[in-house]
Amino acid sequence: MKRIYDWDAKFSLRNYTVADLQALKGKQKLTQTTANSAEEAAAASDAGIDLIMGNAQNTRMVRDAAPNLFFTAAIGLPDFPTETDVLKAAFQAMKDGADSIYTARGPHIVELLAKEQIPVMCHLGLVPRKSGWNGGLRAVGRTRDEALELWNAFRRMEDAGAFSVEAEVIPERLFSEISRRTSLITMSLGSGNGGDVIYLFQNDICGEQTSRPKHARAFGDLHSLNEQIRSERRAALSAFKEAVQGGSYPAEAETAKIPDEEFADFLDAISSKEAAE
């Protein structure tokens, strides 16, 4: 573990720092997943996941649950429209314990953050919220011209000061070439095995829904378990209502008792009081 002070001047331990990730580029494959709740963060930590990423507004909760994992706080694209909004959100997330900031905005926003010495993760390839520009949800970089434009976008983000990139649904062969040529730490989300970090959403890994993107593999089946919980909850509630209406709940063993003599004294007392009134 590396000893650091976070942006709130609190002593902390981290499994990785930005310098570590840069030193490991091309040498060691790491893993990253999402964490937006205390349970998701703790599960990632317990499972030995290397890096986690989640909504900036959840930073404090996630940090408390996974105090040592390198955490990237994502600033929502439509939630912080102005440069001032972005800076405030970024500074708050760093104060709450984030190690880097993710943005799907352009190089000007990356540069804005980088000038404040905030480690920035950008997003290239398929950016779902911007997919209307590319004709929908599809791989980006399947033609020569598009591949060249993508390469130039990587260069622009390098120049703007990003240290890492979420690279989503880029053809594997193309991405492998870009990854080894760029200084950015590459997080492959559906872009094959050529990235420095292999990234997959936790809900996809755990199989929380029956439908998922082509690139996502379910390594668990929480959907079935959640469906079982939903069914069991409704069955239990129905059985409770039926027991109440049928008179079997609450049963004698499920109620408190008062000794006979104490109860008799109570009846005498209230009877005397009622008579006096």
Q: Quick one: pLDDT at residue 145?
A: 97
**52 strand-pairing partners:** 33, 71
Q: What is the mean pLDDT of residues 8-33?
A: 97
Q: For 34-91, what is each residue's pLDDT tens digit?
A: 999 999 999 999 999 999 999 999 999 999 999 999 999 999 989 999 999 999 999 9
Query: What is the C-alpha separation between 219 and 206, in angstroms, rounded?
Result: 6
Q: Quick one: pLDDT at residue 68?
A: 98
Reported confidence tier of residue 277, pLDDT bands at 50, 70, 90 = confident
> Counting beta carbons within 10 angstroms of the beta carbon of residue 257, is it exposed (0 to 12), middle (13 to 18) or buried (19 or more)?
exposed
- Identify the three-state secondary structure at position 35: coil
Q: Quick one: pLDDT at residue 241?
A: 98
Q: For 222-274, what is each residue's pLDDT tens digit?
A: 999 999 999 999 999 999 999 999 999 999 999 999 999 999 999 999 998 78
Q: For 100-145, what is each residue's pLDDT tens digit?
A: 999 999 999 999 999 999 999 999 999 999 999 989 999 999 999 9
Residue 26 CB: number of other CB atoms within 10 A?
10
Tell me the backbone φ, ψ of residue 45, rounded to 5 degrees.
-65, -45
Contact 161, 203 (CB under 8 A): no
Contact 186, 163 (CB under 8 A): no
Query: What is the C-alpha separation between 30 and 196, in angstroms, rounded?
Result: 7
Nearby residues of 217 by Cβ (< 8 Å), 6 or more positions away: 200, 204, 205
Spell out where 126-263 has E strands: 164-168, 185-189, 197-199
